[in-house]
Amino acid sequence: EKDNEGRITMVRSNMAAFNRLQSQILDLILGRIDQVSARELSIPVGSLTGSPLLAGRGPRISVRMESVGSSSARFENQFESAGINQTKHRIVLRIDVYVSILLPGYSTVTQVTNEITVAETVIVGEVPGTYTYFATDPDAYAGDAKDYILNKD
């Protein structure tokens, strides 16, 4: 939103649309996890020993694998400088998916995290008549101050 002089005073997001998107993505993820819920696997006996030398060797045995999963998602705001009096605002959907694989006598949990940029806006402010930059490195302070003093009106 802008004021009477056209300056940006506020950035507003359509949270209802964002929440619908979040819900649809979580439903899709859980649907995909359900598709791989139960399977028969054939595993070499050597792989069950835990020894790297025997991995992939020996007769195969059939086991039934079950996968169980959950997911969560949340929106995060990110602000970063994009130039003199310019700020880039990003809304990112961070999705965490947890999948547990259950085998007889063994289970493992894996977490997969992904970030999706949902919206990105560059907020442009007024450009000042003068601009002074001071480095964050203490060794450069003296040079920056000298440039400022020499170039000052």
**Range of weakest confidence among 73-87, 120-134, 137-151:** 137-151
Residue 20 has pLDDT above 90, yes or no: yes
**112 residue type, one letter:** V
- The domain spans of the chain are 15-151
Q: What would the two tokens of residue 18 be? A: 């964002």
| Segment 144-150 long-range contacts (CB within 8 Å, at least 24 positions apart) | none
* DSSP-assigned letter for residue 8: B
Whole-number mean pLDDT of the chain? 81
Query: pLDDT tens digits for 39-95?
Result: 777 888 888 777 888 888 889 888 777 778 888 999 999 898 887 788 898 999 999
Render pLDDT for 105-117 as a digit per residue (tens, 0 to 9).
777 888 889 999 9
Q: 0.85 exceeded by the pTM?
A: no
Structure tokens at 142: 């003296």
